[in-house]
Structure 1
Amino acid sequence: MKMIIGILLLIAPLIASAAPSLNHLVEDVEGNKVSLSEFKGKVVYVDFWSSWCGPCRKSFPWMNQMHEQYQQQGLAVVAINLDVEIELAQVFLEQLPAQFTIRYDPESEVARLFGLKGMPSSFIFNRQGELVQQHTGFNLEQTSQYEQELVNLLEQ
């Protein structure tokens, strides 16, 4: 039993560091590794998307609206693209420009750590960098609920 507890104590920090957090590294448009921790202190809406994802096309206008409406109150919208070929993401963004931050995870390393169950997947972090909500898919009928979750966190 002591051995099992010892092993758990050794691996617990590894498991905790791999959990969805703002400490992971993704790529910017130039391919530089950047940390999501640059958004700590804000309410952060992290959205994983891909160029082939139909519901992602519906979520981008909503994310633009949320960014425009709440960025001054401390909201950061960060959309992480999972396309292996960045050119596919660029074509998508030409059709649906983003006014919020775009990052890239072409090897899906961070996506695996977040344990995506579908596309798009969104994760909401409070100002302390704690994961407080997550959604799989994007449903236009639920945008009021999504927005209310953000407003509640912004008011804290």
Structure 2
Amino acid sequence: MDKKKKRFYVRTVILAILVAAIAFTVYTTATKDTVPLLKVGAEAPDFSLVDLDGETHRLSDYKGKGVLLNFWGTWCKPCKKEMPAINSQYNAFKDQGIAVLSINQAQTVFEVENFTDSFNLDFPVVIDKTKSVTRTYNVNKLPASVFIDPEGKVVRVYEGEMTEKMLAEFFSSIKPK
């Protein structure tokens, strides 16, 4: 086989591989369903993240309490709007067995501290630096909130901004009996 024919076959094979890869990417993107955060009734996956004071928080440490996992970013306008409501309702419910774990989306400590200081938040704020928890919980839109009962089961998933009234209702549904 001469050089030209060999080069032609190699180029044809490479081109075929590229076309197949592009077709596969287009197909998987077009047929991808949006994955829900987590199914209600599912066991909430355990994780471990560090807060702004260097303290480690594991979801399993909160067993026996109702827990709100609130995923957010400093750039997210609805996140900013709901933070005071979360803080207010946390303070109203914390003595009733409710915990809030606020999970920032991989931003710098400086950005997160400026944000939390401006709201004077009373609950732990952790940074998901690698977004591993965000991926585990299939969070795609912010803000996203996952409400977990004292047994560790997901009872509600909410995407979007929450009001104080909604939070009061949601916290009431997960507080220990």
Q: TM-score, normalised by structure 2?
A: 0.70
Do the aligned partners of residues 126 and 87 (structure 1) sit closer, same or farther apart at CA in structure 2, a change above 3 Å counting? same
Q: Which runs of 4+ in 1 moved over 4 A?
A: 30-33
Partner of 1:126: 149
Residues 20 and 113, structure 1, Cα contact 8 Å, conserved in 2 = no
The share of aligned pairs that are identical, in percent, is: 25
- Shift in CA distance, 77/139, structure 1 to aligned 2, threshold 3 Å: closer
* Alignment counterpart, residue 65 of structure 2, candidates 42, 48, 73: 42
Bigger Rg, which one: 2
- Residue from 49, 66, 71 that aligns with 1:26: 49
Superposition CA RMSD, Å: 1.9
Shift of 1:132: 0.8
1:57-68 aligned at under 5 Å gives the runs 57-68=80-91
Provide the secondary structure at the position in 1 that maps to 2:129: coil
CA contact (8 A) 2:69 2:147 kept: yes
Paired residue type of 2:172: V
Cα distance, 1:120–1:20 mapped onto 2, change above 3 Å: farther
Q: Which moved more, 1:98-107 or 1:20-29?
A: 20-29
Give yes or no for contact 2:68–2:99 (8 Å, CA) kept in 1.
yes
Maintained 8 Å contact 1:26/1:103: yes
Gaps of 5+ in 1: 1-18
Q: Where in structure 2 are there 5+ consecutive unaligned residues? A: 1-41
Match of 1:73 among 80, 89, 96: 96
The alignment partner of 1:147 has SS state of helix
Which is worse superposed, 119-128 or 145-154? 145-154
Find 1:117's aligned residue among 140, 155, 177: 140
How far did residue 84 of structure 1 move?
3.0
Could you say what secondary structure the match of 1:72 adopts? Answer: helix
TM-score by length of 1: 0.78
Q: How many residues align?
A: 136
Distance (Å, rounded) in 2 between the aligned partners of 1:34 and 1:65? 22
Following the alignment from structure 1 to structure 2, what is the Cα–Cα distance between the partners of residues 75 and 86?
26
What are the within-5 Å matches in structure 2 for residues 82-93 of structure 1?
82-93=105-116
